[in-house]
């Protein structure tokens, strides 16, 4: 395993983390608990030290799973979790008030069976709560020994700058992949300037970049992708051209499409640590092998030139969820 520092924070993590959400939330039925714990243990044994969860996944059950699985390895791993999305009357509501954050951290510490959270994110920016108040609360939580580092997820660069000025951020989380390169415009240059790490979620495009999803794929009724515009039959068909290109690259590198997609993310900057999720050992092993697939700066430039010429069909979020992406 190779390791990376998130920005200039001093927090070192495995170059590839493990996103745990899909083990109990978002992508159909929850996995078998014993099997998921076994998978997390296998990830640790393979050198993964960076595990990502959130209060809202389940809700609560994903943190419980991760806490139970990582309890024997607590001092060897970095646990990241998130606050700021509450379930109210069965709906997800963004609430970033300091008092809500304080309630959330106590619940997360208990479920994760730990005295501290290594990296605590605000899951989504609450437009009703100034980010300075959030940053101040995070600073207090660190002083109290409850968190070691903090971050924001899906926040815009103005918010990031304001937050960082109050209490330096360790990491920003956002979607980033060969299929969604919006962060390259403003986010990545800002993070580089401020010395903040980047943790991309969905680096495999919610599974699409593995090459195993086609226009004929049908998802479980509880699968989040059913409401994502990019995953309509028409858009999946239109976007197949990017998969064809990735398959050519995979052939050249003697790798799989998933490994190319992950190696690409790793090649962009040395302070990026993606968190692909999986519920299968075979996929975990495949993903981790991508660390050994080298993409040179010159190859990266050529790949990006080609990606620039491929139009992407469909939005990454339905309208209601798109509104929660920060400015």
Q: Per-domain residue ranges for the chain? A: 3-207+268-295
Q: Is residue 228 very low, low, confident or very high in pLDDT (cuts 50, 70, 90)?
A: very high
Q: Which sign, positive or negative, has the C-alpha torsion 53, 46, 70, 152?
A: negative
Question: What average pLDDT does range 25-49 have in this prediction?
Answer: 96
User: Which of 140-143's residues contact partners 24+ apart within 8 Å by CB, and which partners?
Assistant: 141/101, 141/102, 141/105, 142/167
Q: d(Cα 123, Cα 100) in Å, to the nearest integer?
A: 13
Q: d(Cα 166, Cα 182) in Å, to the nearest integer?
A: 26
Question: What average pLDDT does range 293-313 have in this prediction?
Answer: 97
Global model pTM greater than 0.95:
yes
- Whose structure tokens read 């608990």? 33
Lookup: tokens for 286? 């495949």
327 has pLDDT over 90:
no
Question: What average pLDDT does range 108-123 have in this prediction?
Answer: 98
Q: Please answer whether residues 22 and 54 qualify as being in contact, where contact means their C-beta atoms are separated by less than 8 angstroms.
A: no
What is the topology classification, in CATH, of domain 3-207+268-295?
Answer: TIM Barrel (3.20.20)
Q: Please answer whether residues 39 and 79 qualify as being in contact, where contact means their C-beta atoms are separated by less than 8 angstroms.
A: no
Query: What pLDDT is stored for residue 114 in this prediction?
Result: 98
Catalytic site residues?
Answer: 57
């Amino acid at each position: 395993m190779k390791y990376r520092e998130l920005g200039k924070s001093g927090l070192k993590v495995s170059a590839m983390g493990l996103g745990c959400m899909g083990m109990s939330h978002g992508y159909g039925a929850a996995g078998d608990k014993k099997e998921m714990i076994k998978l997390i243990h296998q990830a640790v044994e393979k050198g993964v030290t960076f595990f990502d969860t959130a209060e809202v996944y389940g809700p609560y059950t994903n943190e419980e799973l991760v806490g139970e699985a990582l309890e024997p390895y607590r001092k060897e791993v970095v646990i990241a979790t998130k606050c700021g999305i509450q379930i109210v009357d069965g709906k997800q509501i963004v609430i970033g008030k300091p008092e809500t954050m304080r309630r959330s951290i106590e619940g997360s510490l208990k479920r994760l069976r730990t005295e501290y959270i290594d990296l605590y994110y605000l899951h989504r920016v609450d437009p009703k709560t100034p980010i300075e108040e959030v940053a101040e609360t995070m600073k207090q939580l660190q002083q109290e020994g409850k968190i070691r580092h903090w971050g924001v997820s899906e926040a815009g660069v103005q918010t990031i700058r304001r937050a960082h000025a109050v209490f330096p951020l360790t990491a920003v989380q956002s979607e980033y992949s060969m299929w969604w390169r919006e962060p390259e415009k403003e986010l990545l240059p800002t993070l580089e300037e401020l010395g903040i790490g980047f943790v991309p979620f969905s680096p495999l495009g919610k599974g699409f970049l593995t090459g195993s999803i086609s226009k004929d794929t049908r998802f479980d009724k509880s699968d989040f992708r059913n409401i994502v515009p990019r995953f309509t039959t028409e858009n999946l068909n239109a976007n197949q051209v990017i998969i064809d290109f990735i398959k050519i690259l995979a052939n050249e590198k003697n790798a799989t499409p998933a490994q190319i997609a992950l190696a690409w993310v790793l090649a962009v900057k040395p302070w990026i640590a993606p968190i692909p999720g999986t519920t299968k050992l075979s996929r975990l092993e495949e993903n981790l092998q991508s660390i050994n697939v080298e993409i040179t700066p010159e190859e990266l430039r050529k790949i990006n030139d080609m990606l620039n010429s491929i139009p992407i069909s469909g939005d990454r979020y339905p309208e209601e969820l798109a509104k929660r992406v920060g400015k």
